[in-house]
Structure 1
Amino acid sequence: MTNRQITVVRIYLRESEHLLHKIIKHLHDDAKVLGVTVFRGIEGFSEDGTIRTESLVDLSLDLPLVVEFFDDPDKAEAVVETLIDKLHLHHIVSWPALAHTRV
């Protein structure tokens, strides 16, 4: 097994921002990052304190979304800078990690 230094990046959004397609397109077509996953939250809140939730009575179209991707540290940092500049994203976190792969 071999270990590789990577950076994991999470981008927090809401469905109503309509940015998911643009982010995925950039990560896939332009940046060609190593991997991407999108999580759809069932409940959450952000700085404004408004709780967004999914229920049977009120099927919200403004639920939380998390786009997570990983790549080499330098590339991940460059991608984050580009996304912030192009799409004016505000809620991005990242951390170093190890990718474990078989040789």
Structure 2
Amino acid sequence: MQIPRDAVLLRIFIGEDDKFEQKPLYEAIVLKARELQLAGATVLRGPMGYGHSSHLHTTKILRLSQDLPLVIEIVDTQEKIDGFLQTLNGMMASGLVTLEKVQVLQYGAPSPEQS
């Protein structure tokens, strides 16, 4: 699979406790992205954060250490990301979703002429 140099980064901000059909939302999103053959997805877990409610989520305070912030990043073509956004909309009740244009410098193993 190849990604063009000009691509789109989809960034999804959710909480660790968010669910979709009784499974963790982050897991459902990554599995759906894989099923739809998007180039790749990564889930990043944050030690501290807050969202629209301004409620602080952190690992520093034991009673607040649940529902830590997660960021899911997916990079692919504009067309594939646009198609995935429709699916994502049906999976998320809340959260923040951002898009930005990126340049892909390397994806996978270098080509033989780069070795």
Please tell me the TM-score bracket, short chain as reference.
0.7 to 0.9
- Compare relative contact order (CA 8 Å, sep 6+) and give the higher one, 1 or 2: 1
Relative to total residues, which structure has the larger strand share, 1 or 2? 1
Question: Which residue in 1 is equivalent to 2:34?
Answer: 28
Q: TM-score, normalising length from structure 1?
A: 0.85
Q: Mark the CA change 1:86 to 1:44 in structure 2 (over 3 Å): closer, same or farther.
A: closer
Separation in 1 of the partners of 2:68 and 2:98? 19
Question: Which residue in 1 is equivalent to 2:77?
Answer: 72
**Greater displacement, 62-71 / 31-40:** 31-40
Give the deviation of 1:4 after TM superposition: 1.3
Amino acid at match of 2:81: A
**Identical amino acids, percent of aligned pairs:** 25
Kept after mapping to 1: 8 A contact 2:11/2:74: yes
Amino acid at match of 1:45: Y
The RMSD of aligned alpha carbons is: 1.9
Kept after mapping to 2: 8 A contact 1:5/1:99: yes
Paired residues, number = 100
Give the deviation of 1:87 after TM superposition: 3.4
